[in-house]
Structure 1
Amino acid sequence: MKSRYRDGCFYCEHNQTQVERMVPIIPLDVSTFYLNRDQTHPGRAIVALDWHVDELFELTAPMRQAFIDDVAQAAAILKEYTGASKINYGIYGDTVSHLHFHLVPKLPSDADWMMHS
């Protein structure tokens, strides 16, 4: 596993950029559940690992399972709270490499429900 902290990473530093982008909701077992300030989809949230790794495969199997369990717990909370029909999951990292999931609650009434390219 790589470093547990990376300079310049707002998830590691808990700096002003992080404050501008998200609000902490609750700590989970190995991650933190945040509400994204960008509410393009009401309830849009993030689950970020509590230490720095770039890739999911960098975690040991038990840590990976714990992180996925946290994501599932956050998604269940989000679905109940928002009444969403579906929670969409995204892992990116090309602009912020710290391992995190985007959770996006969706409803059939959303303009982009079932859009096809």
Structure 2
Amino acid sequence: METFRLDERLARDSALITKLGLCQLRLQNDRRWPWLVLVPQRNDKIELFELTPLDQTMLTFETNQVASALKELTGATKINVGALGNIVRQLHVHVIARNEGDPSWPGPIWGQGTAIPYSDNDRHDFMKKLAGAL
């Protein structure tokens, strides 16, 4: 079986929380928003429809599982889910907790300001809490 290759930008900008059935679950290193990324561990996939029907089902299940845990953990007003891939082509799904009054509410988060990295302790604590919520 071929070794999964993670896009270097996803690797640089996020930290691995855990591996689910299909996806790597990663924390985006920007503490302005609780921002998770699901990356299906399938090489050379760009679009959702390129996944097998079983993988599409697994991705939907894992996205819903992660979104629900994130909402419960953060008490967010809204959970945003999106698969854009205009810059990073490797298939990945963003799951972002949003609240009224956050730095870009109610607009999109992309292209807004400069990322504020987590401290090592804050990143570790958030990842531990999320893993527990899953």
Q: Secondary structure at the match of 1:112?
A: coil
TM-score w.r.t. structure 1 length?
0.77
Size of the alignment, in residue pairs? 106
The one-letter amino acid paired with 2:39 is A
Q: Percent identity?
A: 27
The counterpart of 2:36, out of the listed 33, 45, 53, is 45
Partner of 1:8: none
Distance 2:103 2:6 in 1: 36
Q: Secondary structure at the match of 1:12?
A: coil
Partner of 2:59: 67
2:93 pairs with 1:101:
yes
Distance 2:6 2:100 in 1: 38
The counterpart of 1:27, out of the listed 19, 28, 40, is 19
Distance 2:77 2:6 in 1: 35
RMSD across aligned positions (CA):
2.3
The counterpart of 2:28, out of the listed 33, 36, 58, is 36
Unaligned runs of 5+ in 1: 6-10
Partner of 1:82: 74
TM-score w.r.t. structure 2 length?
0.68
